[in-house]
């Protein structure tokens, strides 16, 4: 399946991209529906905080003395004021903090994302645009972008490929050994000092690279995401964070060229 690449103004650029049949061309069956259901169930389960808690009988502050004698009063027998039947007493089998998350196999999760993308492709609800770059976070710019694509009144999801930050350099470790001679340990110490100086120079270069990377990240992802944050029917996510729930919840998927390549590489491993 081929789609024309559009620019930020909604006009064709005169080139097409091929959607991978392994990712966007699955023949949907009943088992795919169940896999999508499991992925959505996992996503919603992970949204629950699980911090609910109520005090049980042993956690209530109060006296434990017996309120009155066991027999002869004509009333029911009572043990203490913390009885669950009393107002202010402990709760029986109350909720406790727990993790609602469920496990999903990697292959099942990958298949669910493929099924969701294939469903959107079959319904012609996928648009491919050139890589976006916003110099500032402005909602009106994102609204103009949606109006140019004729999806301003639809629930849309934009997938972008956010750049990955470079890995931080590892600090050298001082080697200490038992039973070494003083001369040998001195050589190790000198080597460590040399490695430490080289590490400090590498850290300085890494910090400069990180500052430049932050500017690129802001232009390609942060500013775009902030521009769509105030729009109730528009959302922006990183291609590596693609999930089934948001994919199925959107009426139209807008994918940048770099994000399309990232999704294809991610789901065809």
**Region class of 179: left (phi > 0), else alpha (psi between -120 and 50), else beta:** left
pLDDT (average), residues 164-184: 69
* Token code pair at residue 120: 């959107």
Residue 203 has pLDDT above 90, yes or no: no
Between 207 and 263, residue with greater pLDDT: 263
- Which of the pair, 232 or 193, is modelled with greater confidence? 232
pLDDT of residue 175: 64
Within 10 A of 157 (CB to CB), how many other CB atoms are there? 22
- Asked whether the CA dihedral 248, 116, 221, 19 is positive or negative, the reply is negative
Mean pLDDT of the region 161-174? 76
Say if residues 236 and 228 touch (Cβ distance below 8 Å): yes
Q: What's the pLDDT tens digit per position in 73-125? A: 999 999 999 999 999 999 999 999 999 999 999 999 999 999 999 999 999 99
pLDDT > 90: what percent of the chain?
65
Over 90: is that where the pLDDT of 197 sits? no
**Residue 83 and residue 92: Cα distance in Å, rounded?**
10
Q: What is the mean pLDDT of residues 241-255?
A: 94
- Average pLDDT of the chain to the nearest whole number: 89
pLDDT in tens, 37-82: 999 999 999 999 999 999 999 999 999 899 999 999 999 999 999 9
The pLDDT of residue 180 is: 62
Of 213 and 142, more confident = 142
Mean pLDDT along residues 11-38: 92
- For residues 4 and 17, give the distance between their C-alpha atoms in angstroms, rounded to a whole number: 6
Inform me whether the pLDDT recorded for 126 exceeds 70.
yes
Task: Determine the pLDDT at residue 209.
Answer: 78
Whole-number Å distance between alpha carbons of 20 and 78: 71
Q: What is the pTM of this model?
A: 0.78
């Amino acid at each position: 399946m081929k789609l024309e690449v559009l620019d930020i103004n909604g006009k064709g650029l005169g080139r097409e991209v091929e959607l991978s049949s392994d990712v966007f061309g699955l023949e949907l069956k009943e088992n795919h529906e169940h896999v999508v259901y499991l992925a959505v169930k996992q996503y919603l389960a992970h949204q629950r905080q699980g911090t609910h808690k109520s005090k049980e009988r042993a956690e209530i502050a109060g006296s434990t003395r017996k309120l009155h004698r066991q027999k002869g009063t004509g009333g029911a027998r009572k043990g203490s004021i913390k009885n669950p039947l009393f107002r202010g007493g402990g709760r029986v089998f109350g909720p406790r903090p727990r993790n609602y998350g469920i496990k999903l196999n990697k292959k099942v999760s990958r298949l669910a994302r493929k099924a969701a993308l294939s469903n959107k492709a079959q319904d012609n609800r996928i648009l491919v645009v050139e890589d976006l770059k916003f110099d500032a976070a402005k909602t009106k710019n994102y609204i103009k972008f949606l109006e140019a694509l004729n999806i301003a009144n639809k629930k849309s999801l934009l997938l972008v490929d956010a750049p990955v930050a470079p890995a931080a350099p590892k600090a050298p470790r001082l080697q200490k050994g038992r039973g070494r001679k003083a001369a040998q340990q001195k050589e190790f110490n000198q080597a460590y000092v040399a490695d430490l100086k080289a590490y400090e120079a590498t850290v300085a270069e890494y910090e400069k690279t990180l500052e430049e990377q932050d500017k690129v990240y802001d232009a390609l992802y942060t500013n775009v995401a902030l521009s769509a944050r105030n729009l109730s029917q528009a959302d922006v996510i990183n291609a590596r964070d693609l999930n089934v729930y948001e994919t199925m919840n959107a009426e139209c998927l807008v994918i940048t060229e770099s994000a399309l390549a990232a999704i294809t590489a991610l789901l065809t491993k």
